[in-house]
Copies of this chain bind each other. A is one copy, B any other.
Amino acid sequence: MTSPDADTTGGARRRREITVARIARLAGVSAPTVSKVINGRSGVATSTRQRVEEIIRTHGYQRHGRAEPTPIVEIVFQALDSLWALEIIRGVEQVLRPHGLTATVTEMHGQLTPDKAWARQVLARRPMGVIGVSAQLTAAQHGELASRAIPVVTLDPSGEPAHRGASVGAMNWNGGLVAARHLLELGHRRIAMINGPDEFICCRARLDGYRAALDAAGVPVEPDLLRVAPLYVEGGLAQARDLLGQPDPPTAIFTANDLQALGVYEAAREKGLRIPADLSVVGFDDLAFVRWIGPPLTTVRQPLMKMGATAAELVLELAAGRQPGHDRIELATTLIERQSTAPPRTADSRP
């Protein structure tokens, strides 16, 4: 085709792709400078950087062809200390592998929103996509990544759904409902819930599901039976101790995750209570080992691996430039009945 036709004006010789050079011209800088900005390199004044970033944002630069992005998907964890995380990694890995991609893992040590340094490093690595687990990116971070055509998928997002980003989660509300209903059907009326911190919307959803079940059964939700604790064994232990120390203790406890349930087990042991004879317990997650503890834990299964896999698939879709059908995907939770639940001891048949 018209190859030798001069580009006198820098003329529309080709399809007018948005290239670094073009951005540079628009911003009144040179291509290297734009490159530095894009890759988070240093040596660019803040004002210049901002100007360039503005142009990039408005013009929606996306990397030429598919050449550059490293064959990597980054997973950002808030904490990396439970089998929970591992299952997700496995799911992601499973999807990535056949495509010749790899997953990187980062731990934010409890921060919900990644810090500045993180953003810079991600840009420098130029991954194909980012999966944020229980993360809450700022709008600015979303913008920066979006302008580089790095798709972001949030898994089990905390904070508000918002940000129009894609996300994957489980049916938490339903899980809470099913768990509480199960206990109600066994005849329990004093059902406590030890929930996780409010920041996690998954926890709020679980609580709402629990509430809905009790409401539907006409059982009042007693505020004192609603506790909040960190999503660890110690959290469940502390609150369970307190709950079981009350004059009129609950006959069943539903926890926001399996680790808290382990804490409840421990508290029960301390008090000499037998599970499930004296106390029923329902957890959440279905970590691999809870079917082996004594007694095997009844819990709400989250398909963690599948959630990871789904998130990865979403990232791949987005990275390929396709717009996936759904912005939010929720996978089903299922109640796994084992042996930590039974009808309450004092058969609740008083008048």
Task: Give chain B residues whose Cβ lies under 8 Å from the Cβ of A100.
Answer: 117, 121, 124
Nearest CB of B to A182, in Å: 23
Q: Are A86 and B81 neighbours in the complex by a CB distance under 8 Å?
A: yes
Distance in angstroms between the alpha carbons of A81 and B106 in the assembled complex: 18
- Please tell me if the beta carbons of A104 and B107 are within 8 angstroms of each other in the complex: no
Q: How many copies does the complex hold?
A: 2
Determine chain A's interface SS by DSSP, over half rule.
helix
**Closest 5 CB pairs between A and B?**
A102-B104, A262-B292, A104-B104, A86-B86, A294-B294
Q: A262-B292, A263-B292, A289-B262 are in contact. Are A105 and B125 (CB under 8 A)?
A: no
Tell whether, in the assembled complex, residue B93 and residue A105 are in contact, meaning their CB atoms are under 8 Å apart. yes
Q: Closest Cβ of chain B: how far from A36's Cβ, in Å?
A: 14
Query: Known contacts A83-B86, A102-B105, A265-B294; can you find 9 more A-B pairs with CB under 8 A?
Result: A71-B125, A72-B125, A80-B89, A81-B90, A90-B107, A100-B124, A102-B121, A104-B105, A262-B293
Residue A74 is within 8 A (CB to CB) of chain B in the complex: yes
**Nearest Cβ on chain B to A295's Cβ, whole angstroms:** 8
A216 at the B interface (CB under 8 A)? no
Q: Let me know if A269 is at the binding interface, CB within 8 A.
A: yes
Q: Is A21 an interface residue (CB 8 A)?
A: no
Name, among A72, A80, A83, A292, the residue most crowded by chain B CB atoms within 10 Å (CB to CB): A292
Taken together as a complex, chains A and B put the C-alpha atoms of A104 and B107 apart, in Å, by 12
